[in-house]
Amino acid sequence: MNTTHQTQSKKTALITGAAGGIGYELACIFAAHDYNLVLVDRNGLKLVEIAAKFQEEFGNFAKTIVKDLSISTAPEEIFTELQLADINVDVLVNNAGFGIYGLFHQTDLAAELEMLQVNLVCLTHLTKLFVKHMVKQGEGKILNVASAAAFQPGPLMAVYFATKAYILSFSEAIANELEGTGVTVTVLCPGSTASAFHERTGMADSKLLKGKRMMDAQTVAEIGFRSLMKGKTIAIPGFMNKLLAKSVRFVPRNLVTKIVRNMQEDK
């Protein structure tokens, strides 16, 4: 459901990958905090359902944009559509992303190039487009969803881990650049989270996940939202995830890589 006008007294959050998982839970939290929403995802039917729900429960303006973010023109198309609709984005949430599981020499190159486009290029492109206006208006917030995978190499998910390392590094760097502008950047680095992500990657039976209790997406989203509102640069949900992120700095890299490989394997 797209309402015909934006409620001017409310701020607006744009969320990519909003149809499920952490993205959906973040959308729920922003709606409950009286934000208007721009919901972006490939799943148009799900977006319509979510927008209607928010309109009914909270009275929020919810614009839906159905886009495949693996297509290089998608970020510019989103930005242009919002400009034409005179919708100002106060909070940008780059949540969309996916992973591919398997040995790099055996995985599909086309799928990995799409993953690079979604996880890395689209995130960078959207940030570039929206941050300029945020700086100009003297306020704004950006939440980039990375992963605990950002802190170490990841055999059997080599490209995915690398994209998350990029998001962490990129977010920390621009957070520093933007100090004093009124714009903050937060990078959310959750560990394994209960969602459809692991089934899609094919790693649900890995030693890392099988039989393990994972943090739920709502809890992860709440931690991300609170950290964003406080202007924290890095948010790592869960004590063990925080501990592991810090500990890898004191362990030889080759040993860390072997440990991750062992955890990722399904036997």
CA distance 169 to 233: 11
- The pLDDT, as a whole number, for residue 1 is 43
- At 209 the three-state DSSP class reads coil
Contact 131, 183 (CB under 8 A): yes
| Least confident stretch, 45-59, 81-95, 105-119 | 45-59
| Phi/psi of residue 225, nearest 5 degrees | -65, -45
Fold of the domain built from segment(s) 12-264:
Rossmann fold (3.40.50)
| pLDDT tens per residue across span 66-111 | 999 999 999 999 999 999 999 999 999 999 999 999 999 999 999 9
Percent of the chain residues past pLDDT 90, beyond the cut = 73
Confidence category of residue 196, pLDDT binned at 50, 70, 90: low
CA distance 162 to 169: 11
Helices (H) and strands (E) in the chain, counts: 10, 9
Confidence category of residue 262, pLDDT binned at 50, 70, 90: confident
Strand 193-194 with 215-216, pairing? parallel
pTM over cut 0.85: yes
- The pLDDT, as a whole number, for residue 264 is 82
| Mean pLDDT, residues 228-235 | 98
| pLDDT tens per residue across span 20-34 | 999 999 999 999 999
pLDDT exceeds cutoff 70 at 169: yes
- The pLDDT, as a whole number, for residue 59 is 85
Give catalytic residue positions.
160
| pLDDT tens per residue across span 135-163 | 999 999 999 999 999 999 999 999 999 99
CA nearest neighbour of 150 among 42, 232, 256, 5:
256
| Mean pLDDT, residues 39-55 | 95
